[in-house]
Chains A and B, each alone.
Chain A
Amino acid sequence: GAGVSQTPSNKVTEKGKYVELRCDPISGHTALYWYRQSLGQGPEFLIYFQGTGAADDSGLPNDRFFAVRPEGSVSTLKIQRTERGDSAVYLCASSLTVWERIEDDEQFFGPGTRLTVL
């Protein structure tokens, strides 16, 4: 399968712990997005990468959240000192490019990681 993959599919942790969520985008996709979907809500934008750099991190809720994409492919979303309010499904999406051709900008979503903070 050549879709976006995310690991783990489920993560249960205790309040105060550190977690890492991984996203493997579609091969060749330069743009990568992280969204957070709380129960009963639509996804909310967190951060966007173009290549290795975070081009827009305006959606990160606070400095406990951080994301990297060191080689321009796999990305890791890191959450420090987790809180119960961080419980949500974290979605990753990738697209071929951004704004060069709108047809190339379709975002393909992964299945998400369900994070539960006890």
Chain B
Amino acid sequence: AQKVTQAQTEISVVEKEDVTLDCVYETRDTTYYLFWYKQPPSGELVFLIRRNSFDEQNEISGRYSWNFQKSTSSFNFTITASQVVDSAVYFCALSVMGGAQKLVFGQGTRLTINP
């Protein structure tokens, strides 16, 4: 069985601070995919990134960066120079090969950026 844990329930920072959202996953499969989604107050899940289990290269997209470490089963997400518009609930998710891309989500981290 697969499991995703986001230990941080809520984070609150002041605008322009950097913030890291933690994600730890469990799976026995060797081929899997990791995701981050953003859920703004409107409720619609917005896809941010997908990584496969064979690619541990970190990724940067603008103010967003992701750190994937198989040794610790972690896939952390960092926002640099945070902005008020980054306020949302962020979900980490996992799917496995052969699992029809059935997503297993963590509990989510509510991020509040204060002006």
Contact = CB atoms under 8 A, between A and B. Distances in A.
Interface of A: 31, 33, 35, 40-45, 48, 50, 55-56, 59, 89, 91, 93, 95, 98-99, 102, 105-112
13 contacts: A31-B101, A33-B102, A35-B103, A42-B93, A42-B107, A95-B101, A99-B100, A102-B50, A106-B47, A108-B47, A110-B44, A111-B42, A111-B44
B45 A109 contact: yes
Interface of B: 4, 6, 33, 37, 42-47, 50, 52, 91, 93, 97, 100-108
A48 B43 contact: no
B40 to A, nearest CB: 11
A106 B93 CA distance: 13
Contacts of A44: 105
Given A31-B101, A99-B100, A112 B108 contact: no
A112 B43 contact: yes
A112 B107 contact: no
A56 B100 contact: yes
A33 B44 CA distance: 14
B101 A105 contact: yes
